[in-house]
Amino acid sequence: MALANIKDRVDDAFGKIIDTARDLISIPSRNPPGEERRCAEYIYSNLKERYEPLYNVVLLHKPFEHRPQVVMYPKDGIDRVRAVLNGHIDTVPEGDYNAWNTDPFSATIKDGYLYGRGSVDMKSSLAVMMHIVDILQEHEASKSIALMFAVGEERAEGGTYAILEYMKGLGLKAKYGLVLEPTALKICYAQQGALWLRVKVKGKATHASLPEHGINAIEHAARAVDALSKYADSLRVRAYEGCIPRCSVTMLRGGIKENVIPDECELVIDRRLGIKENHEHVRKEVEELLNSLRLDYKLDIMARRDSVLIDKNSHIVEQLYDACKELGIDTCYSCFPASTDNEYLVKEGIESIVWGAGSLENAHAIDEHISIKELKYETYSLALMLARLNYSMNLSL
């Protein structure tokens, strides 16, 4: 498929992509609490109406019965699938509704940007996925890709893992993968891991008029916050492949009343792992830091994510880079600082990368928005890359 033909196909389909993105944004799929069902059913119905009988469209009720996922693959054989596209349905909550300048679920278009919760992370890219087969329908590549619309990504709940287990049972043998998270079109062959820790600092309650008779858990927790901040500053020297380890205290709770010395304070730590770090070592580091403060505390692991690194010279990396450059789209190689479901694909031996339109800075933010122009660039590049990837793989068979 020639470049000019691909651009024409994208131009013809792009209005529908924007309409689909707006539909997806208008259906809240917050996680927590895990309300992806209505959005998943919309995706399922839309795909089923447009692509059957040539494709199987499945509403997968695993790993959660009431939070279904969506899978699509060619009916003439999942073993022919050579590339998988992955995205997640769930979003973080919108936060303070009154702080938004636009309704977070109205999918407002203003000054060339699409606004709304999930516009960046990552319903706009889900819309591209939902139309990519139409764009490639005259090319063999349309019959060699599978689509995964996962739940639970925002809380590391393993939706993509369950999809992969289901598809492996059907005979999936995909070589390449692409997770369409917002990277500002930087090609991320690496991504950081994550470890979320909950620390409950213990104290002793007493009347606030006699603080010397108690132990103020909030004050002790404040010491931990200060020490963790200094620890975070020390991590930059561990940077590798562009991935910089980080540590942040993201939640703090304590106290029951204005005149009671608090006997407990809870803090949550978000620790981003570099490529060469492992979860157990990081957990021990944090424990040693807290022990050095002589705190009475309990530490629990809330969730964890593995870091990812594939060869920068992987075929899919080269093909995507070449497609972007041919289209005149600015890109580079990078490490994705957040954690994604790409870890599951890579663990299955799939050479998979993170790449997509939109800035991570806008994800999870008030007035989340994405550049419509950049989303179109994503669609051009993705279609061209999939066509070229399929052709080059056929030559190698």
Regarding whether 123 and 41 lie in a shared domain, the answer is yes
Tell me the C-alpha to C-alpha distance, in Å, between residue 167 and each of 36, 73, 129, 162, 226. 21, 9, 18, 9, 47
| Nearest Cα residue to 131 out of 386, 379, 391 | 379
Angle at 132 between CA 131 and CA 136, to 5 degrees: 125
What pLDDT does residue 395 have? 44
Regarding whether 375 and 329 lie in a shared domain, the answer is yes
Look at residues 263, 279, 305 and tell me which one is the last residue of a structural domain: 305
Regarding whether 367 and 299 lie in a shared domain, the answer is no
What pLDDT does residue 3 have? 78
Regarding whether 118 and 85 lie in a shared domain, the answer is yes
**Which tokens in the block code for residue 72?**
């699509």
In degrees rounded to 5, what are phi and psi of residue 364?
A: 65, 10
Regarding whether 224 and 353 lie in a shared domain, the answer is no
Angle at 272 between CA 267 and CA 278, to 5 degrees: 110
Identify the CATH number of the domain in which residue 52 sits. Answer: 3.40.630.10
What pLDDT does residue 238 have? 95
Identify the CATH number of the domain in which residue 258 sits. Answer: 3.30.70.360
Give the residue-averaged pLDDT of 174-185: 98
Question: Is residue 124 predicted with pLDDT exceeding 80?
Answer: yes
**Which tokens in the block code for residue 394?**
């056929």
What pLDDT does residue 209 have? 98
Q: For the segment 338-396, what is each residue's pLDDT rounded down to a tens digit?
A: 999 999 999 999 999 999 999 999 999 999 999 999 999 999 999 999 999 875 655 44
Give the residue-averaged pLDDT of 204-219: 98
One-letter identity of residue 102: T
Binned at pLDDT 50, 70 and 90, residue 397 comes out as: very low
Domains: count for the chain: 2
Regarding whether 151 and 73 lie in a shared domain, the answer is yes
Question: Is residue 200 predicted with pLDDT exceeding 90?
Answer: yes
Q: Which domain holds residue 223?
A: 193-305
Tell me the C-alpha to C-alpha distance, in Å, between residue 314 and each of 59, 159, 175, 176, 318. 32, 26, 11, 9, 6
Regarding whether 250 and 165 lie in a shared domain, the answer is no
Look at residues 273, 305, 337 and tell me which one is the last residue of a structural domain: 305
Q: For the segment 65-89, what is each residue's pLDDT rounded down to a tens digit?
A: 999 999 999 998 899 999 999 999 9
Give the residue-averaged pLDDT of 169-191: 97
Q: Average pLDDT, whole number, for the chain?
A: 96
Q: For the segment 221-268, what is each residue's pLDDT rounded down to a tens digit?
A: 999 999 999 999 999 999 999 999 999 999 999 999 999 999 999 999
Q: How far apart are CA 18 and CA 20, in angstroms?
A: 5
Look at residues 305, 323, 351 and tell me which one is the last residue of a structural domain: 305
Q: How far apart are CA 207 and CA 262, in angstroms?
A: 9
Q: For the segment 88-120, what is each residue's pLDDT rounded down to a tens digit?
A: 999 999 999 999 999 999 999 999 999 999 999
Regarding whether 284 and 177 lie in a shared domain, the answer is no
Q: How far apart are CA 34 and CA 359, in angstroms?
A: 24
What pLDDT does residue 139 have? 86
Q: Parallel, antiparallel, or unpaired for β 297-305 and 333-336?
A: unpaired
Report the Cα–Cα distance between both ends of the chain, in Å, rounded: 19
**Which tokens in the block code for residue 147?**
């689509």
Regarding whether 130 and 42 lie in a shared domain, the answer is yes
Q: For the segment 281-336, what is each residue's pLDDT rounded down to a tens digit?
A: 999 999 999 999 999 999 999 999 999 999 999 999 999 999 999 999 999 999 99
Regarding whether 295 and 207 lie in a shared domain, the answer is yes
Cβ–Cβ < 8 Å for 84, 94: no
Regarding whether 116 and 60 lie in a shared domain, the answer is yes
Regarding whether 144 and 15 lie in a shared domain, the answer is yes
Which residues does 40 contact at the CB level (< 8 Å), separation at least 6?
A: 29, 59, 67, 68, 69, 70, 89, 149, 151
Q: How far apart are CA 129 and CA 55, in angstroms?
A: 14
CA 135 to chain centre: 24
Q: Answer positive or negative: Cα dihedral of 36, 39, 43, 48.
A: positive
The residue behind tokens 């509704």 is 97
